[in-house]
C-alpha cells in the first residue's frame, strides 16, 4: 500500500517497551515522550502484525527502550516470525544478548542492530550512564556466533565525544564481520536550536564524502536510500553505512516504514507526535479486522515526508 506521496509501506518498526537498562543521554525514545506502562501483550502485537501483513507488510524491526528487558521477548519473536517472512530484526544495546541470542535465533529472529557508540569505557559510561561496555561487546560476539546476520553496529556521531573514533569503530566492525552504521544525531525542528543539539550534533557528510573516495563499491539500502560503502580495511572486507536523516529530503522520500509505539499507537513519522492513530484501544474493545484495517489505512494516509 502507498501513502499520499506514492511511498510504499513495506516494513513496520515495533517498540515493545519504553523501559531500558541504560540511560543514553541522547536517546530519542523512538519518539515516545510521554511516560506510560501500557505495554502491548505478545498476542496483541501478533494481531497488529497480522493486520500489517494483510497490507503485504512482511518486515518488522523490534525496538524499545531495550526490547530484551521484556522476559517474553522470545515468545514475541516466535509469534511474529510466521507473519513477517521477509525480515525480522531487533535493535538492542547488546548487554543482554549473551543471555538471549541463541533463543532469539531459534525463535525466528534473523538479525540485530546493536547500539555501540564507542569502545572507550569512560566515554561509554558518559553516554549510557552505566559501566557495561564489556557486556555490550560480549553481545556483539554472541550475536555473531548465533548466526544473527547481517550484524549491524549503530554508532550515533556525537561532537566532542566519539567523532575521533570512526577509524577504530570501522576496524572493530571489520574484525567482527559487522556493518557499521554511522548515524547523525536527529531532532525535530523545534529542538534544532537548543543548546543540547548544537553541542553534540555533527553533520556526517564529510565522512560520506571520504568513504565515497575510497570505496570499491557503493550500494543503496532500499529504506531511505542510504549509501553503503564497501572497501578493504587492513585487508578485510568492510561495509559502512552513513545515515543522514536531518534536512534530507531523499531520506524522507525513500522512507518505507511505519511505526508502532509500545502503547499501541501507529506512528507515521519518528519526528512527529501530532498524527498518531490508536489501534490498541479499539483492539482491546473488541474491534474486528475491518475496523483495524481502516485504522491502519488512516495511519498510512497520515504519512508525509518530514523534510520536503
Instruction: Specify the CATH number for the domain of residue 145.
Output: 3.20.20.70
Residue 67 pLDDT level (bands cut at 50, 70, 90) = very high
> Is 307 within the bounds of a domain?
no
> Is 162 within the bounds of a domain?
yes
Window from 78-82, 168-172, 179-183, 230-234 with minimum mean pLDDT: 230-234
> Is 140 within the bounds of a domain?
yes
CA distance to 176, 177, 214, 224, 285, per residue, from 232 (Å): 14, 12, 9, 25, 56
> Is 141 within the bounds of a domain?
yes
Residue 221 pLDDT level (bands cut at 50, 70, 90) = confident
Average pLDDT of span 131-138: 98
Q: Can you give the pTM of this predicted structure?
A: 0.96
In this prediction, residue 257 carries a pLDDT of 97
CB 261 within 8 A of CB 245: no
> Is 73 within the bounds of a domain?
yes
> Is 50 within the bounds of a domain?
yes
Average pLDDT of span 57-71: 97
In this prediction, residue 298 carries a pLDDT of 98
pLDDT of 270 > 90? The answer is: yes
> Is 148 within the bounds of a domain?
yes
Residue 32 pLDDT level (bands cut at 50, 70, 90) = confident
pLDDT of 195 > 80? The answer is: yes
Window from 92-96, 105-109, 186-190 with minimum mean pLDDT: 186-190
Q: What is the pLDDT of residues 35-50, one digit of tens each?
A: 777 899 999 999 999 9
Average pLDDT of span 147-163: 97
Average pLDDT of span 136-144: 98
In this prediction, residue 200 carries a pLDDT of 98
In this prediction, residue 288 carries a pLDDT of 98
- CA 193 vs. chain centroid, Å, equals 25
In this prediction, residue 31 carries a pLDDT of 81
In this prediction, residue 6 carries a pLDDT of 97
In this prediction, residue 234 carries a pLDDT of 87
In this prediction, residue 184 carries a pLDDT of 97
Q: For residue 166, what are the domain limits?
A: 11-301
**How many domains does the structure of the chain reveal?**
1
Q: What is the mean pLDDT of the chain?
A: 96
Window from 184-188, 219-223, 244-248, 274-278 with minimum mean pLDDT: 219-223
> Is 306 within the bounds of a domain?
no
Amino acid at each position: 500500500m502507498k501513502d499520499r506521496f506514492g511511498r510504499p509501506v513495506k516494513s513496520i518498526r515495533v517498540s515493545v517497551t519504553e523501559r531500558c537498562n541504560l540511560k543514553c543521554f541522547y536517546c530519542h525514545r523512538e519518539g515516545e515522550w510521554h511516560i506510560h506502562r501500557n505495554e502491548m501483550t505478545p498476542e496483541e502485537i501478533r494481531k497488529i502484525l497480522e493486520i500489517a501483513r494483510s497490507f503485504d507488510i512482511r518486515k518488522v524491526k523490534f525496538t524499545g527502550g531495550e526490547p530484551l528487558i521484556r522476559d517474553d521477548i522470545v515468545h514475541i519473536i516466535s509469534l511474529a516470525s510466521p507473519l513477517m517472512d521477509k525480515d525480522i530484526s531487533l535493535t538492542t544495546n547488546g548487554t543482554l544478548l549473551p543471555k538471549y541470542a541463541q533463543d532469539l535465533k531459534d525463535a525466528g529472529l534473523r538479525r540485530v542492530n546493536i547500539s555501540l557508540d564507542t569502545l572507550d569505557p569512560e566515554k561509554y559510561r558518559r553516554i549510557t550512564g552505566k559501566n557495561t561496555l564489556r557486556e555490550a561487546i560480549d553481545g556483539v560476539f554472541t550475536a555473531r556466533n548465533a548466526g544473527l546476520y547481517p550484524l549491524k553496529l549503530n554508532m550515533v556521531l556525537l561532537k566532542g565525544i566519539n567523532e575521533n573514533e570512526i577509524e577504530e569503530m570501522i576496524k572493530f566492525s571489520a574484525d567482527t564481520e559487522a556493518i557499521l552504521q554511522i548515524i547523525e544525531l536527529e531532532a525535530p525542528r523545534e529542538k534544532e536550536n537548543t543548546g543540547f543539539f548544537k553541542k553534540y550534533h555533527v553533520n556526517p557528510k564529510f565522512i560520506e564524502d571520504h568513504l565515497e573516495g575510497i570505496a570499491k563499491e557503493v550500494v543503496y539500502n532500499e529504506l531511505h536510500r542510504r549509501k553503503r560503502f564497501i572497501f578493504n580495511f587492513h585487508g578485510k572486507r568492510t561495509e559502512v553505512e552513513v545515515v543522514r536523516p536531518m534536512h534530507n529530503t531523499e531520506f524522507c522520500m525513500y522512507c518505507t516504514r511505519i511505526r508502532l509505539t509500545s502503547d499501541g499507537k501507529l506512528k507515521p513519522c519518528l519526528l512527529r507526535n501530532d498524527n498518531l492513530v490508536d489501534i490498541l484501544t479499539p483492539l482491546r474493545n473488541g474491534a474486528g479486522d475491518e475496523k483495524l484495517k481502516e485504522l491502519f489505512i488512516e495511519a498510512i494516509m497520515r504519512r508525509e515526508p518530514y523534510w520536503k
